[in-house]
DNA sequence: TTGACATGAAACTGAATGGTTTCCTATATA
DNA sequence: TATATAGGAAACCATTCAGTTTCATGTCAA
């Protein structure tokens, strides 16, 4: 199952940081790795894991590779958390159900 | 920061499964490990990581150790996901804000 | 077309993870 | 009190993970 790949992807702080960065628009590998101490190949590996989790998509532009956020993959996490949220925020869980029902 | 400990804790499928099990009530170590193929010490380690993430609490009853879910720790995850949810479900994000404002 | 730039790929390393086995301690209970 | 039960602790192992260095490839631009 792919669910595990999402949880795996978001388990690392660098990867969550990259997601935050991409929330303001797509970025090339160079632009991304410029923000971190680690080497470029290390960032490449993180991007691959994010891609495997479906959290980003990659497209080529010339010799660059542009990485864009694909946040819908987080629905998996959101749904999982929602199950438990009934135990600490019933109002929120109820409203979520209402919203989802409306969308049908 | 403790945030990382939560994401680390929920990254493993066995630990997420244990959380689901505990959602129906507290359980002793023996009761929990009976549901898995792995040995009891292995389950003990998972429980320790869940505890470090604040996701469960443990109390002693005689020679037993009862483990109970503490789902509020998932608020960390919920909040993090909410930031990204604005990109795939604005209605839900809006309602969540309303709910949280009401609680103030 | 040559050189600079953006990236990919492979081999390696150390630390963390998920698991095991073995042994020890504490608490119930016959 | 002797024994069974519940769990803790330590030592060990294999795999995965996050990072590195080195080298190769493809594309742009002078």
- Collect all residues of chain A within an 8 Å Cβ-Cβ radius of residue B74: 81, 84-85, 88
Positions of strand C less than 7 angstroms from a protein CB: 5-11, 17-22, 26-28
Strand extents, DSSP E, chain A = 27-28, 56-61, 64-69
The minimal CB distance from B69 to the residues A23, A87, A92 is found for: A87
Distance from CA of B99 to the nearest CA of A (A): 6
> CA-to-C1' distance for A34 and D30, Å?
27
Q: How many interface pairs between A and B have CB atoms less than 8 angstroms apart?
A: 74
DSSP 8-state class, residue A104: -
The minimal CB distance from A77 to the residues B77, B89, B96 is found for: B77
Q: What is the 3-state secondary structure (H, E, C) of chain A?
A: CCHHHHHHHCCCHHHHHHHHHHCCCCEEHHHHHCCCCCCHHHHHHHHHHHHHCCCEEEEEECCEEEEEECHHHHHHHHHHHHHHHCCCCHHHHHHHHHHHHHCC
How far is Cα B75 from Cα B90, in angstroms, rounded to an integer? 19
What's the confidence (pLDDT) of residue A99? 63
Is residue A95's pLDDT more than 90?
Answer: no
Number of other CB atoms surrounding residue A34 within 10 Å? 11
Residue of B nearest to A25 (CA): B87
Residue of B nearest to A86 (CA): B71
- Is B78 close to A85, i.e. CB distance below 8 A? yes
pLDDT-based confidence at A96, cuts 50/70/90? low
Closest by Cα among B22, B9, B100 to B58: B22
Q: Is A62 on the interface with B (CB under 8 A)?
A: no
- Model confidence pLDDT, tens digit, residues A7-38: 999 999 999 999 999 999 999 999 999 999 99
- Model confidence pLDDT, tens digit, residues A52-62: 999 999 999 99
Q: What is the pLDDT along chain B (104 residues), one digit of tens a residue?
A: 689 999 999 999 999 999 999 999 999 999 999 999 999 999 999 999 999 999 999 999 999 999 999 999 999 999 999 999 888 766 665 666 666 665 54
């Amino acid at each position: 199952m792919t669910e595990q790949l999402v949880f795996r992807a978001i388990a690392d702080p660098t990867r969550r940081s990259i997601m935050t960065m991409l929330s303001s628009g797509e970025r090339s590998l160079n632009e991304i790795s410029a923000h971190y101490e680690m080497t470029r190949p290390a960032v490449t590996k993180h991007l691959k894991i994010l891609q495997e989790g479906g959290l980003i998509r990659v497209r080529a532009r010339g010799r660059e590779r542009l990485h864009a956020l694909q946040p819908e993959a987080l629905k998996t996490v959101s749904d999982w958390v929602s199950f438990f949220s009934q135990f600490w925020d019933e109002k929120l869980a109820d409203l979520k159900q209402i919203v989802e029902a409306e969308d049908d």
